[in-house]
Amino acid sequence: MMREGGGMISATGLFPQTVCAAAGRLNGKAFPHWTPVTVGRVRALVSYRLNDREHERRAEVGLGAMTSPDVLRLLIALPLGERVWSGVLTSADRRRLRRLGDGSVVSEGPELLRLAVPAVEAGIALVAAGSWRQGLEAAGRFTPFCVRAIVLRRKPRDMEALRLEADFYGIGVIVADGFGQDGPSVLVPPAPFVRERVSVGGWLFLEQLYATIL
C-alpha cells in the first residue's frame, strides 16, 4: 500500500467499525459479512453473503474454491441442470473436470450434468484512499463485480468536483470524519449493481472471494 499522502491507504487503518456502520447504510442487511479482497493490486473490504445450499453441497463433496479460469469457462459453457453429451468436450476439458472430482459436474453415463454455481455473492467493495481521484480509479477495478465505494479520512476541498465524478462513475463516497457527531457520512451514494449474466471474470472474482472466506 502507498502512504496516505500518495493515494492508497492500508485497509486495516481505515476500516474501523464506524466506517463499516456507515457502509452498512448503503449495504443494508443483505450482505452481513466482510472480508478483504485484492484485485489488480487494489485492496478492498468486500461485503458478502454465502449461498448456503451451494456452500454446504461443496463441503459435503470436498470441493473448495475453483480459481482456474479454464475450469470456470468450461462450467459456464455447460447449462446448469441440463444433461450434455460428454462428447462435446475436448479431452483436455474432461481432464480438468476429473481433477475437480464430482463436486462441479456429475457424470451420468455418456452425459454430464453441471452442479456448481457460485457459492458466494458480493455486496459492496470499499476502497480506502487518501486521494479521491486515485480512489475512484482504484474502485473502478471492481466495476464488473459489485457495488463500489471509496472511503476518505476527511472531507476534500474540491467537493463539487468529487461529487460530479463519483456520481458519473456510480462510485459511492464515504468520509470517515468531519461530518458531525454521527461519525462517517455517505457523501455520494453508489449506483446499484446489475449483473446481466455471469461471466468467467465475474465468477472468478466470486471464487477468489470464496477462497478468502474458506
pLDDT, one tens digit per residue, over 6-33 is 344 444 454 556 566 666 667 667 888 8
- In 3D space, the residue among 172, 134, 109, 145 whose CA is nearest the CA of residue 37 turns out to be 145
pTM over 0.95: no
Instruction: Find the range with the poorest average confidence among 33-37, 102-106, 179-183.
Output: 179-183
140, 19 Cβ separation under 8 angstroms: no
Side-chain-side CA neighbours of residue 35 (13 Å): 18
pLDDT-based confidence at residue 166 (cuts at 50, 70, 90): very high
pLDDT averaged over every residue in the chain:
83
End-to-end CA distance of the chain: 24
Beta bridge partners of 33: 48
Rounded-to-integer distance, Cα 122 and Cα 205, Å: 9
Rounded-to-integer distance, Cα 202 and Cα 8, Å: 24
DSSP annotation of 143 reads T
